[in-house]
Amino acid sequence: MKREYRLFLQDIVGAIKSIQDYVGRSSLDDIKKNRMAADAIVRNIEILGEAVVNIPEDIKKKYPEVPWIKIKNFRNVVIHQYWIVDYDILWDIITTKLQVLKEQIKDILTQEKRSVP
């Protein structure tokens, strides 16, 4: 059964919210010491990346400001090369890029809702 692409966009927002909840006011060192939180964060990065993989190409082309390929590539590292996940890079993504991505995806959801007949 084919899933509607807007649900994948909602999954992205949900995964980002979960990551932000898991991080809370923690530092990178706190996350590195808390394996359960680190695992939960990585799992939601996987979900986020998998959702991006399922967004139709025409939607990705319509919104080129979203770094779709970078997100997919990082997801591939997390899933297929899990032993080399660099938590410093992950922390940079969490602290500098996720909120921007969440806002971009929310905007896309709003715009796409308007375009539905």
What are the boundaries of each domain within the chain? 5-110
What the block records as the tokens of 57 is 């190409």
The 10s digit of each residue's pLDDT in 34-60 is 999 999 999 999 999 999 999 999 999
How many of the other CB atoms lie within 10 Å of CB of 91? 17
pLDDT for residue 12 is more than 80: yes
Query: How confident is the model at residue 81, as a pLDDT?
Result: 77
From residue 14, give the alpha-carbon distance in Å to each of 8, 51, 80, 96.
10, 11, 23, 18
Q: Are 55 and 94 spatial neighbours (Cβ–Cβ below 8 Å)?
A: no
Q: How far is CA 89 from the centre of its chain?
A: 14
Would you say residue 117 has pLDDT above 60? no
What does the pLDDT read at residue 104? 98
Residue 80 known to be catalytic: yes
Q: What is the pTM of this model?
A: 0.92
Is 35 known to be catalytic?
A: no
Give counts: helices (H), strands (E), the chain: 7, 0
Q: Which of 25, 35, 80, 114 is catalytic?
A: 80
